[in-house]
Amino acid sequence: MSGPAVRDAVSTLLHEVDPVARCQAHTTLGRKALANDDLDTAEVHLREASDLDPTDEVPRQLLETVTRRQPARRRGFASWLRGGR
């Protein structure tokens, strides 16, 4: 993962305290990870984005994509780790 969007997102996470800006940065990193088929990293960033701004539908929709792309066995284990979320 590299490029201006990723650098901007990382910079935001390092320097910004605004939860909406941080949500957008995590969403950007989650999208990039998803595009690179790095589902674990995508899930981490998209969950953080959802926690930071629960009103933003985009991270939740992207998380659904991650869940659909994960193998069934992995989905069950991940759900168990999250307490059934």
Percentage of the chain beyond pLDDT 90 is 75
Is CATH 1.25.40 what the domain over 4-81 is classified as, yes or no? yes
Task: Give the whole-angstrom CA distance, residue 58 versus residue 3.
Answer: 21
Confidence (pTM): 0.79
Q: What's residue 53's pLDDT?
A: 96
Domain ranges in the chain are: 4-81
pLDDT over threshold 70, residue 51: yes
Task: Give the whole-angstrom CA distance, residue 27 versus residue 9.
Answer: 9
Instruction: Decide if 27 contacts 59 (C-beta within 8 A).
Output: yes
Instruction: Decide if 31 contacts 12 (C-beta within 8 A).
Output: no
Question: In this structure, which amino acid lies at residue 49?
Answer: A
